[in-house]
Amino acid sequence: MGNDWWRTAAIYQIYVRSFADSDGDGVGDLGGVRNRLDHLAGLGVDALWLTPFYASPMADGGYDVADYRAVDPLFGDLSDAEALIAEAHARGLRVLVDVVPNHTSSRHPWFVEALDSEPGSAARQRYVFRDGRDGDPPNDWESMFGGPAWTRVPDGQWYLHLFDPAQPDLNWQHPDVHAEFEDILRFWLDRGVDGFRIDVAHGLVKADGLPDVGRTDQAGLLTTRELPFFDQDGVHEIYREWRKILDSYPGERIAVAEAWVPSPDRLARYLRADELHQAFNFHYVETDWSAAGFREVVDASLAAVADVDAPTTWVLSNHDVRRHVTRYGGGERGLARARAAALLTFALPGSVYVYQGEELGLPEVTDLPDEVLTDPVWERSGHTDRGRDGCRVPLPWSGTAPPFGFGGPTWLPQPADWSAHTVEAQEGDPHSTLTLYRRALALRRELPETGLRWFDPAARDATGCDARADVLAFARGDGFVCTVNFGDVPVTLPRPGRPLLASHPGVAGDGGDPDPAGRENGDGVVTLPPNSAVWWSGDTHG
């Protein structure tokens, strides 16, 4: 395992509850992940990120941790975690685990002790307790899940929770909190993990005096505006401490920040040489399907990290956002765009994250019945926001009806029409999304280690009009070109080289096809179907 592995790594996100079930209770578990390691190694990713599997009352799917050193019985036990790490390593897969330092569960022994203790006591100082303002909360901060960010306890004090009331925020000005998390990091590093995904990495430090924001709908401001509870300069001191711990272990142990900040420049601050290795690129996630939008976000992302010598990450989906097939319009068109987005994304310099199920082309499940919804967002929003369950539906593995080989009945119901999405159905199908991902991830390993150079694709639509506004084209080094047609009509352009792989079914580089990019129109001109991407080997250019 070489140096700087994380700079170009493809990292697969496992939402453990929904990945694979080994004991038939309909909830994914660590045994399920162990059983499917060959699928992951075969997909061609370099590392796995496991969402929290720690002891938890599951008020927020495990992001409410009651014991950071124990595995919740729903998911297995510590020996399963140790075996999983060892078995992943045996297949050359690294393992990242989640660490949740902004808040604990309200059932964490520290919070139980705080509630049992007097206002002003040492136990309360590990959290953010304050007196209210004339019977109202101490300030106007809102929970990211809706409603006020403060809950009153029987003696009249209030405690801060930027998320659910079952997730009280820790006070990172308290030395106990620092010591405890350093010990938690060591606990998992000693068990061989290759690093951490840091939950709400931007939230640990709050502005002095806890000043009002001065307006509502604060969750909507996450990536646009400075907020007194997010992205405060003091968080960087914490990551400098953590980096020393990571660096004190052999091998390259890394940390990736979940940091929702107003700009790529602010994000880059988490990636300074003595801080974290990576941060999720949420500006990329939020980009709508358009050539101009993608060009802008790619340029801004690359420019922001250039000064800190860190790789950028490219993320299309995760367990908190609508799946990108659906974000890009859903149906056949959404899937075509998602497949094209995968080729675009995997062609960019840096590290990529793949969210479980995107390799199967899964859409968001938008019609879950009210009574099965578990995301606290549903209740906290007064049933106006259906929350994030729709991207967390258990994966379909095999068969023609739910639970599609998962085990179950599954904790969230799967759509009855997912049989074409199963791993079994896509296995060996040259046009399947699974095959596209495998080929792309394998070819991606051969990409030159250079930056990206945009070029003018000279694209034309069927009427001969200039279609360049809908097409992106870039080269990596001399030998590789990626072209993407974001438009809804076919375009023609000068052939950029020999086609390696295309996102469009039927023209997807599936072996027998002499020109996987589409029909050769003579005179070195090729047609790109709507919403498609092609990889080209530039060495046969001309």
Residues at the site binding ligand NOJ, with contacts judged by CB under 6 A: 60, 63, 100, 163, 199-200, 258, 319-320
81 touches 30 (CB < 8 A): yes
Closest approach, Cβ 166 to ligand NOJ, in A, equals: 11
The Cα 398–Cα 250 span in angstroms is: 40
324 touches 364 (CB < 8 A): no
466 is catalytic: no
Closest residue to bound ligand NOJ by CB:
63
Selected catalytic residue, list 60, 140, 258, 320: 258
Closest approach, Cβ 203 to ligand NOJ, in A, equals: 9
- For ligand NOJ, the closer of residues 39 and 202 by Cβ is 202
277 touches 249 (CB < 8 A): no
- For ligand NOJ, the closer of residues 349 and 376 by Cβ is 376
- For ligand NOJ, the closer of residues 145 and 535 by Cβ is 145
Closest CA to 206 of 165, 177, 183, 182: 177
Closest approach, Cβ 270 to ligand NOJ, in A, equals: 15
164 is catalytic: no
- Non-local (6+) Cβ contacts of 15 within 8 A are 28, 51, 319, 355, 356, 392
Closest CA to 318 of 380, 256, 267, 402: 256
Omega of the bond prior to 396 within 30 degrees of 0, cis?
A: no
- For ligand NOJ, the closer of residues 61 and 334 by Cβ is 61
- For ligand NOJ, the closer of residues 199 and 359 by Cβ is 199
- For ligand NOJ, the closer of residues 141 and 474 by Cβ is 141
The Cα 152–Cα 155 span in angstroms is: 8
**HEC per residue, 374-415:** CCHHHHHCCCCCCCCHHHCCCCCCCCCCCCCCCCCCCCCCCC
- The phi and psi torsions of 27 (rounded to 5 degrees) equal -120, 130
The residue written with tokens 């646009």 in the block is 224
Angle at which helix 433-444 crosses helix 331-346, to 10 degrees, equals 10
Q: What angle do CA 232, 235, 240 make, to 5 degrees?
A: 145
Closest approach, Cβ 258 to ligand NOJ, in A, equals: 6
- Non-local (6+) Cβ contacts of 108 within 8 A are 65, 66, 67
Closest approach, Cβ 197 to ligand NOJ, in A, equals: 9
- For ligand NOJ, the closer of residues 63 and 486 by Cβ is 63
Closest CA to 258 of 327, 347, 321, 308: 321
Closest approach, Cβ 259 to ligand NOJ, in A, equals: 10
Selected catalytic residue, list 164, 199, 320, 359: 199
The Cα 58–Cα 376 span in angstroms is: 10
Closest approach, Cβ 347 to ligand NOJ, in A, equals: 27
Residues assigned a catalytic role: 199, 258
